[in-house]
Amino acid sequence: MTKSLNHLLQDARIWQGHKPRKHTSPAEHTGYQVLDNQLGGLGWPKGALSECLLDHHGIGELHLALPLMRNLARQGKTIFWLNPPHMPYAPALASAGVPTDQLVLIQAKDSADFLWTLENCLRSPVTGLVMAWPGQLASRDIRRLQLASEAGNNVCILFRKRQQADQSSPAALRMELAPGTCLDLNVHILKRRGSWPGQRCTIALAHRAGTQAAESTQVVQGPWPKGGST
């Protein structure tokens, strides 16, 4: 019994409030050292959900995922965009070093189709990253997606409304995003696997190493189809 309990306590998913510890779960670096430092030197968790919670789109959230997209696409992994609020601007992504032939854009027609599609993308062996913009998700649906993410062992980023931060979630990483000055992005870590939450940092999106900052800002700014907005 004691042996089984000790084995269970080694699982990074078990939160021990009085005993935070560094873990070695697989992860992909964010490309921003200041953020990786706040995430235990790791980055985006693999085989688990990550949630970015924000009030509105176009504050720099795509730039946050840009180094990850670039690295995984260059490895030949597929990057799925599921129900993005705007059409991704392919020329800017290409200028930022993201191979666009590795990107797949999907628009699901309803919530049931969305969940089915997201689950299958997560389970696919070709997947490196899934970025999804869901509406309201029930707790049972989030658990279902977490199981699919574990099975696929890839990175999944859900962009959700900030008011959904109060909802219980099995996501390994939950971050609140808010615009800063100029192209800065303020990050507040609400939950992270294996240690205390509460860390804050500011990411200078205009100074991304290895990217063309002036051009890649168009990833968020457009142009969008008629009727779109930033």
Low-confidence ranges of the chain (pLDDT < 50): 8-9, 13, 15, 17-21, 207-217, 220-230
> What pLDDT score was predicted for residue 6?
55
* Distance in angstroms (rounded) separating the CA atoms of residues 154 and 163: 26
Q: What does the pLDDT read at residue 197? A: 72
- Which residues have C-beta within 8 Å of that of residue 21, sequence separation ≥ 6? 194, 195
Q: Is 99 helix (H, G, I), strand (E, B) or coil?
A: coil
pLDDT tens digits for 52-110? Answer: 999 999 899 999 999 999 999 999 999 999 999 999 999 999 999 999 999 999 999 99
pLDDT score for 148: 95
Residue whose C-alpha is closest to residue 81's, from 184, 223, 219: 219
- Pinpoint the alpha helices (H) of the chain: 2-9, 33-38, 61-74, 90-95, 111-123, 139-152, 213-216, 218-221
Q: What is the pLDDT of residue 1?
A: 52
Fold entry, domain 24-221: Rossmann fold (3.40.50)
Task: Supply 147's token pair.
Answer: 């199981």
The edge-to-edge listing of strands for the beta sheet with 103-106 is 103-106, 78-82, 127-132, 155-161, 48-54, 173-179, 184-192, 200-204
Give the model's pLDDT for residue 206: 57
